[in-house]
Amino acid sequence: MAEVHALVIECGRCMGDDLPPAASGARVVCYAPGVDVEDAMAAATTLLCEAGLAPVAASAHGTLAQRRARGELTASERLLMDRALRTGRVIVAELTPTYERN
């Protein structure tokens, strides 16, 4: 049975990625369904690669049930996680360009 996992995926630069020119990459928050966290991460990184990004690292921040039990869910996050579960699709909630510090 699939669960929805909250993930943060760090991406590097890739030709044609549409990130701002000065950005060194991006941090992507997404909600991905999967039978386990590895399956969810694979689905999310595949989607980001298809979108022209270059995933380099991923971290999991819990399932819908785990985040609810810890009191970490906002109403909007719950709606997005419910949507990911209902549709079986990865939901990209936020993409934030990152910049190297000099």
DSSP assignment of 33-91: EESSHHHHHHHHHHHHHHTT-EEEEEEEEEEHHHHHHTT---HHHHHHHHHHHHHT--E
Instruction: Check residue 17 and report its DSSP letter.
Output: -
Per-residue pLDDT reduced to its tens digit, 1-14: 689 999 999 999 98
Per-residue pLDDT reduced to its tens digit, 46-92: 999 999 999 999 999 999 999 999 999 999 999 999 999 999 999 99
pTM equals: 0.91
24: number of Cβ within 10 Å? 13
Query: What is the residue-averaged pLDDT of the chain?
Result: 93
Q: So what's the pLDDT on residue 20?
A: 93
